[in-house]
Amino acid sequence: MDHAARIAQLREEIERHSYNYYVLDAPTIPDAEYDKLFRELESLETQYPELLTPDSPTQRVGGKVLDGFAPVKHVVPMLSIRTETDTEASGASNFDTRVKNALGAADEIEYACELKFDGLAVNLRYERGMLVQAATRGDGETGEDVTQNVRTIHCIPLHLKDCAAEVLEVRGEVYMSRRDFNRYNEKQRELELQTLVNPRNGAAGSIRQLDPRLTAKRPLSFFSYGLGEVRGWTLPATHSAVLDQLAQMGMPVCNERAVVCGAQGLVEFHQRVAGKRDTLPFDIDGVVYKVNSLALQRELGFVSREPRWAVAHKFPAEEQLTVVNDIDIQVGRTGKLTPVAKLEPVFVGGTTVSNATLHNEGETRRKDVRIGDTVIVRRAGDVIPEVAGVVLERRPANVGEPFDLYRRLGGHCPVCGSAIVREEGEADWRCSGGLFCPAQRKQALLHFAGRRAMDIEGLGDKLVEQLVDGGIVHTPADLYILGMSALADLERMGEKSALNLLEAIEKSKRTTLARFVYALGIRNVGEATAKDLARHFGKLERLMQADEAALKQVPDVGPIVAQSLLAFFAEPHNLEVVDALRRRGVEWDEHEGDGDQVLPLTGKTFVLTGTLASMSRDEAKSRLEALGAKVAGSVSKKTDCVVAGAEAGSKLDKARELNVAVWDEAALLEYLRESEKTIDPQIDAD
């Protein structure tokens, strides 16, 4: 291919990617890939200047004004700065050399060093200290009026402190923090709605929503890093002083910046930031060096579309392209089934990545990830690598079928063979073999031994890990056949500790039906629901044999809880473990159930506050629940009664404010004594 044809091809490809990114807010390739194409075009146009045309992407910043926004002509153009893609120390040294050569300077140059934020550049125009307009960069000359959207970003001041300048344009970056980005996407996945590709795309798409109310729902932040037009304000001598004064005016300025001298100072800043990149609360893809003196900036001036006095020094990209070789399905400790892309290894975010999460079946289908696809892989900080999107234009003709998790697994857990289930309204498929599945073993044992479940004192995280990893315990039933010989070789397990553990296991054999049901770890069955089930059915067999209609007769048991119970007890592996537990001595008192009985406090909500002298808070809660009450943690209009012990605090004040009934400890004890006489004393005998 000749040079002219290659240049034409590069221009067409860059324009297409620019349109996808800036106009559609739907990037199709990572920034690093775009930078490579752009630099190749720049290099060719430098070698063959006769082929340079005014409409080349290198002659403008990129982007296009959306039809839905009014155009804003920038008085001072918003030009981008040169990108140094050499991620080594030599990238900083090269910039320093260029600056010194351009100035003919022998002495070291002073530089202002900042972070290169990964968001959307905006220009904020303040007149007499008031925010009057906000505009995007656009093509550098003309941007988009996004004033109403920017006003929804709470960290951007609507009025600057002590600023009487006729005009002061502040430039900076709208971005989305990693935490906010992850929380937003997790919520979108729960609702089975479209997720954001990355924080930068999230910021750009949010600012350019036509409805400001949609922008307000997305968690955006802002950092200022420079100026546009200035009238009626005396500029300080340096760029760093400009940022200091902006901060004094109430404008957000990142504290992760420094003033350094010479190439060595630039190198040290680059290395220092690279070392803490993963711990920063937001994404950066490099650092920015600027000649600190504004006078020297003016002397250096511009070349083409870029200032000579600044450069962006890149870090290794956090997004890269690679190919999906296979899609595996992993089982988490709670039984969640997660599709994982097995990738052609790629270096991204400072490490080699060969696996990336696809989150769940719905997300995989929305992104339409298939075996053989070329995908964008993202890794930011310590976040698990994920597939952010598919490059459809690179999809091979023989690509695999759309992803179907159930069909792929034949309806069974890939680890234990139990049936997989997905509850109504849930995005995730789960293994139903909670007590049996090896992938869920540690979580199941820890829950089973918990204080509110079987209460096996001494059986904590580290011990469970040793028992499972050593192949000593496979299901909770195995705990009841442990002996000294099995425990003797465990790390930090002396004879006394082993005896104490065996004693706690033996003691746990005598329990209640409510505790046992809760200990089984059935999804959506918490402590209160377990008590309701035990009270209603009275016997484990009745609970295990109940159909959906019968389960829904229990207070607060709806279709989701009923589905969880039915799925759990329909799995033969779980029934085997329950049977083994009973055969190994776990027992409780049973009764005929009170399915038709209306308890004294059925439908009533209580709140406990303060300290009770005659019983613990847990005991009071248990006895109230045995009478049918729900015990909540906070007071509201739906609260029927607050029990106030000694040193009751804000909950008592809230109860009085809402005119909620208040009992002292004496009133509680009297009610409990009278009411408990009317029901079977064995019910919920905790």
Tens of pLDDT along 144-188? Answer: 999 888 888 888 888 888 898 999 999 999 999 888 888 888 888
Q: In the structure, what pLDDT confidence band is assigned to residue 225 with cuts at 50, 70 and 90? A: very high
Can you give the residue ranges of every domain in the chain? 3-59, 82-314, 319-403, 438-583, 605-676
Residue type, 261: C
User: What's the number of CA atoms in the CB half-sphere (13 Å) around residue 252?
Assistant: 15
Q: Are 146 and 135 in contact (CB under 8 A)?
A: yes
Q: Which has the closest alpha carbon to 222: 208, 212, 238, 207?
A: 207
- Alpha-carbon gap, residue 364 to 429, rounded angstroms: 13
Q: Are 546 and 460 in contact (CB under 8 A)?
A: no
> What average pLDDT does range 627-632 have in this prediction?
84
Res 655 pLDDT > 50: yes
Q: What is the DSSP letter of 399?
A: P
CATH class as words, domain 319-403: mainly beta
- Alpha-carbon gap, residue 407 to 411, rounded angstroms: 6
- Give the alpha-carbon dihedral of 275, 281, 286, 288, to 10 degrees: -110
Mean pLDDT (the chain) is 88
Q: Which has the closest alpha carbon to 427: 193, 180, 184, 198?
A: 193
User: What's the number of CA atoms in the CB half-sphere (13 Å) around residue 375?
Assistant: 34
Q: What percent of the chain has pLDDT over 70?
A: 95
> What average pLDDT does range 10-27 have in this prediction?
74
DSSP-based three-state secondary structure for 280: coil
DSSP-based three-state secondary structure for 120: strand
Tens of pLDDT along 328-339? Answer: 999 988 899 999
Res 380 pLDDT > 70: no
- Alpha-carbon gap, residue 632 to 604, rounded angstroms: 10
Res 425 pLDDT > 80: no
- Alpha-carbon gap, residue 624 to 669, rounded angstroms: 11
- Alpha-carbon gap, residue 117 to 273, rounded angstroms: 12
Tens of pLDDT along 484-522? Answer: 988 888 887 888 889 999 999 999 999 999 999 999 999
Task: Give the pLDDT of residue 597.
Answer: 62
Strand 430-431 relative to strand 420-421: parallel, antiparallel, unpaired?
A: antiparallel
Task: Give the pLDDT of residue 587.
Answer: 96
> What average pLDDT does range 655-678 have in this prediction?
88
- Alpha-carbon gap, residue 199 to 282, rounded angstroms: 8
Tens of pLDDT along 281-322? Answer: 888 888 999 999 999 999 999 887 789 999 999 887 778 899
Question: Residues near 497 by Cβ (< 8 Å), separated by ≥ 6?
Answer: 458
- Alpha-carbon gap, residue 321 to 242, rounded angstroms: 39
Enumerate the β-bridge partners of residue 321: 376
Q: What is the DSSP letter of 51?
A: G
Catalytic residue among 100, 116, 276, 336: 116
- Does domain 438-583 correspond to CATH entry 3.30.470.20? no
DSSP-based three-state secondary structure for 69: coil
Tens of pLDDT along 581-591? Answer: 999 999 999 98
Res 63 pLDDT > 60: no
> Lowest-pLDDT range, 13-22, 29-38, 149-158, 164-173?
13-22
Tens of pLDDT along 538-566? Answer: 999 999 999 999 998 887 788 889 999 99
Domain 605-676, CATH homologous superfamily name and number: BRCT domain (3.40.50.10190)
CA distances from 296 to 237, 239, 305, 518 (A): 10, 11, 18, 72
- Alpha-carbon gap, residue 504 to 521, rounded angstroms: 20
> What average pLDDT does range 22-36 have in this prediction?
74
Q: In the structure, what pLDDT confidence band is assigned to residue 22 with cuts at 50, 70 and 90? A: low
Q: Are 447 and 333 in contact (CB under 8 A)?
A: no
- Alpha-carbon gap, residue 560 to 607, rounded angstroms: 26
- Does domain 82-314 correspond to CATH entry 1.10.3720.10? no
H or E element that contains 227:
strand 221-231
Tens of pLDDT along 434-475? Answer: 888 999 999 899 999 999 999 999 999 889 989 998 999 999
Strands (E), 53-100: 71-73, 82-84
Task: Give the pLDDT of residue 67.
Answer: 60
- Alpha-carbon gap, residue 147 to 131, rounded angstroms: 9
- Alpha-carbon gap, residue 240 to 292, rounded angstroms: 7
Q: Which has the closest alpha carbon to 8: 49, 62, 52?
A: 52
Q: In the structure, what pLDDT confidence band is assigned to residue 200 with cuts at 50, 70 and 90? A: confident
425 Ramachandran zone, left/alpha/beta (phi>0; psi -120 to 50): left
Place of tokens 């997989």: 420
336 given a catalytic annotation: no
- CATH number, domain 3-59: 1.10.287.610
Q: What are phi and psi of 684, to 5 degrees?
A: 55, 40
- Alpha-carbon gap, residue 397 to 155, rounded angstroms: 48
Tens of pLDDT along 110-131? Answer: 999 999 998 899 999 999 998 9
Q: Which two tokens stand for residue 377?
A: 């892989």
Q: Which contacts (CB < 8 Å, 24+ apart) does range 414-423 have? A: 414/329, 414/331, 415/331, 415/439, 416/573, 417/573, 418/571, 418/573, 418/574, 419/567, 419/570, 419/571, 420/337, 421/563, 421/567, 423/523, 423/524, 423/560, 423/563, 423/564
Q: Which two tokens stand for residue 147?
A: 């004033």
Res 23 pLDDT > 60: no
